[in-house]
């Protein structure tokens, strides 16, 4: 877990440093006499960086518990095939909404994800996946378009 913690701290410090650099470009001009456009952001990012340094130091100095999961265990779990499959399908779905249209993209995503995530595949699964996808579309259409008179993506 220590490597994950250190990676997180490094990413955190990196992002906050970039943000801190961006703040340098701000002008001091402000309507208020005692405050400026820079004051609060500098305070937040400055203390945030300090907290990041404290946590990094703490992680480096603290003894690792014997039962702590190793880096490879944590990351294998985090990037497990089912999780990544779902994430990948979802990203593709969001990107496909504009070119393909919401109704088609949603039906395909719902059907494909249900089928892909299922531990055992067979005709019954595909039938249920189709029914679930159609029912979801029907509920969304009725709720959003008919009842709330809103737009679909």
Partner 1 sequence: MYDQILVGISHVFQPWTLLAVMCGVAGGLVIGSIPGLTSTMAIALLVPLTYAMEIEFALPLLMGVYCGAISGGLVGAVLLNIPGTPASAGTCLDGYPMAAKGQATRALGLAVYSSMIGGTISGLALVLIAPLLAKVAMSFGPWEYFALVVFTFTCISAMSAKGRAVKAFMAAFIGLALALVGLDEASGQTRLTFGFTSFQAGFYELPALIGLYAIPQLLADTDDIGRKGKVLKIQYDLRIFMSTFREVVSRWWDLVRSSLIGIVIGILPGVGPGLSNIVAYSQAKHASRTPEKFGKGELAESVMSPEAANNASMGGALIPMLTLGIPGDASTLMMLGAFMLHGIDPGPLLFRDHGDIVWIVFIAFFVAFAFCAILYHFFIPLTVKAISVPRQYVIPVLLILCTVGCYALNNRMFDVYCFLGFGLLGYLLHIAKVPVLPVILGLILGPMAEEQLSLALAFGQGSLAPFFLRPISGAILMVALLSLVLPPILGRLRSKADIEPA
Q: Is 10 in the site for partner 1 (CB under 8 A)?
A: no
Residue with smaller CB distance to partner 1, 31 or 123: 31
Site residues (CB under 8 A) for partner 1, limited to 68-107: 74-75, 78, 80, 82-83, 85-87, 90-91, 93-94, 97-98, 106
Q: Does 152 bind partner 1 (CB under 8 A)?
A: yes
Between 13 and 32, how does the x/- string for binding to partner 1 read (CB under 8 A)? --xx--x--xx--xx-xxxx
Q: If binding is defined by CB under 8 A, does position 67 make contact with partner 1?
A: no
Give the residue, chosen from 96, 100, 103, 144, that forms a contact with partner 1 under the rule CB under 8 A.
144
Q: How far is the CB of 84 from partner 1 (least distance, A)?
A: 9
Buried b (16+ CB within 10 A) or exposed e, 109-145: bbbbbbeeeeeeeeeeeeeebeeebeebbeeeeeeee
Q: Which member of 24, 66, 99, 119 binds partner 1 (CB under 8 A)?
A: 119
Rule CB under 8 A: choose which of 10, 14, 17, 35 binds partner 1: 35
Per CB under 8 A, the list member of 24, 72, 124, 151 interacting with partner 1 is 151
Binding to partner 1 (CB under 8 A) within 122-141 occurs at 128-129, 132, 136, 140
Contact 45, 16 (CB under 8 A): yes
Those residues whose C-beta lies under 8 Å from the C-beta of residue 75, and which sit 6 or more positions away, are 4
């Amino acid at each position: 877990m220590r490597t994950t913690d250190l990676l997180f701290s490094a990413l955190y410090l990196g992002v906050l440093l970039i943000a801190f650099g961006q703040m340098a470009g701000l002008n001091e001009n402000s309507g208020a006499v005692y405050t400026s456009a820079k004051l609060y952001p500098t305070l937040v990012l400055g203390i945030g960086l300090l907290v990041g340094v404290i946590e990094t130091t703490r992680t480096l100095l603290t003894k690792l518990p014997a039962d702590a999961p190793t880096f490879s265990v944590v990351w294998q779990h985090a990037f497990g095939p089912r999780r990544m499959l779902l994430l990948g399908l979802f990203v593709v779905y969001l990107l496909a909404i504009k070119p393909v249209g919401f109704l088609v993209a949603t039906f395909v995503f719902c059907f494909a994800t249900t089928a892909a995530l299922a531990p055992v595949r067979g005709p019954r699964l595909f039938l249920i996946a189709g029914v679930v996808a159609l029912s979801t579309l029907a509920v969304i259409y009725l709720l959003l378009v008919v009842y709330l008179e809103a737009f679909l993506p």
